[in-house]
Amino acid sequence: MLMEHGLRDGRLAEGLCFTQFLTPDGVLAKPLDGRMDESLLLDMYRNMAIARQFDRKAVNLQRQGRLGTYAPFEGQEAAQIGSALALAKDDWMFPTYRDHAATITRGQSMTTVFLYWAGRLEGGTGAKSLRILPPSVPIATHLLHAVGMAWATKLRNENVVTVGYFGDGASSEGDFHEALNFAGLYHLPIIFICQNNGYAISVPFSKQSASKTISQRANAYDIEGERVDGNDVLAVFDAVSRARERARAGGGPTLIEAVTFRYGAHTTADDPKRYRDQELATDWRTHRDPIGRLKRFLEQRGLWTDDFESEVMADATARIELALDEFARYEAPNPLDMFEHVYAEMPWHLKEQAAEFERAMEKDGMQP
């Protein structure tokens, strides 16, 4: 069902359509796909609830000084988890630094995510056995890597799909356009998933582009484009499932724009009050929250109970505490590691910097 709403700088606007299964009140606006059975619906809720608790714990750990700068995702759970659940285990996932809900749902260890934000090398390795690439901090550069993977799988005649996640800010980068152009030209089995939360840090979408939507840019590269309600986990799951089937059947790439909203800051080093109306976050949390929306739907179908909620919260607490125990066994990262793993052979100027840094550490009584 196409609803007459879209996102413009964090505000829903008339005239910008997106696909929606569940209204904000949790009312079914479109018949369920046969794949959306009771088990999947409950799994969607469970994963979103666990991801939110993980995200809140990570923010608290950063405030305590146990993690470095952290990029929260609360509010964007449906876009990440709906897409992750639509993938097969052999598909490839290229996440950004904010897509931990997607990677954890796919099976990545929470401990690995904690290690990533604590500056440990082990946290930046991705999960090879799960076909999850390391989180990408440079904006949009990983989309080219994702295209390369999709091209490789096509050349090998592997019937798998590659997914590249990114935010609306990445759509203003040249790498985004190069990736879509190459993918369209070679008709590659790839899905580009944009979580459009209306702001690229402090820059609203209206200041980034004259185009009204991101999905419409698919037309320029002759690929499929679709705009979905990113706070509707069913709509996201459906769109990614159809895009995946199309890609595996030789139908080429798809650009999916998931209209969503992140309640908190861009990162814990950011202050959104300086550039964003805080009533927006309150409005989205109160009326359009992805978890609350699915909860209301499950209640209407008799699938949500207090016992089920207690079970989910207990599971979330146990998993997070286990990850924290594992995380605590690691020593603090060695700052000198920042000079390694960049070049095959460290150039002279980095050697000088590393030596100077090591002397400063010794002077301050720090052991490298």
- Each residue's pLDDT tens digit, 84-96: 999 999 999 999 9
Cβ atoms of 202 and 274 within 8 Å: the answer is yes
Is 5 designated active site? Answer: no
Average pLDDT, whole number, for the chain? 93
Mean pLDDT in residue range 207-215:
92
3-state SS string over 273-296?
Answer: HHCCCHHHHHHHHHHCCHHHHHHH
Q: Averaged over 77-85, what is the pLDDT?
A: 98
pLDDT band at residue 334, thresholds of 50, 70 and 90? confident
User: pLDDT tens-digit profile of 3-56?
Assistant: 444 565 666 655 567 899 999 999 999 899 888 999 999 999 999 999 999 999
Give CA separation, 267 vs 58, 96, 116, 142, 363, in Å: 11, 13, 15, 20, 32
Q: Name the active-site residue from 120, 262, 288, 293.
A: 262
From 35, 275, 301, 341, active-site residue? 275
Does the global pTM surpass 0.85?
A: yes
Alpha-carbon span 352 to 168, nearest angstrom? 39
Q: What is the pLDDT of residue 365?
A: 78
Q: d(Cα 31, Cα 18) in Å, to the nearest integer?
A: 16
pLDDT tens by residue, 146-174: 999 999 999 999 999 999 999 999 999 99
Can you give the pLDDT at residue 363? 86
Residue 221 is among the residues annotated as catalytic for this protein: no
Among the options 120, 131, 142, 266, which is catalytic? 266
Q: What are phi and psi of 160, to 5 degrees?
A: -130, 170
Based on the residue annotation, tell me whether 266 is a catalytic residue of this protein. yes
With respect to CATH, is domain 2-333 assigned 3.40.50.970?
Answer: yes
What are 322's two structure tokens? Answer: 């286990």
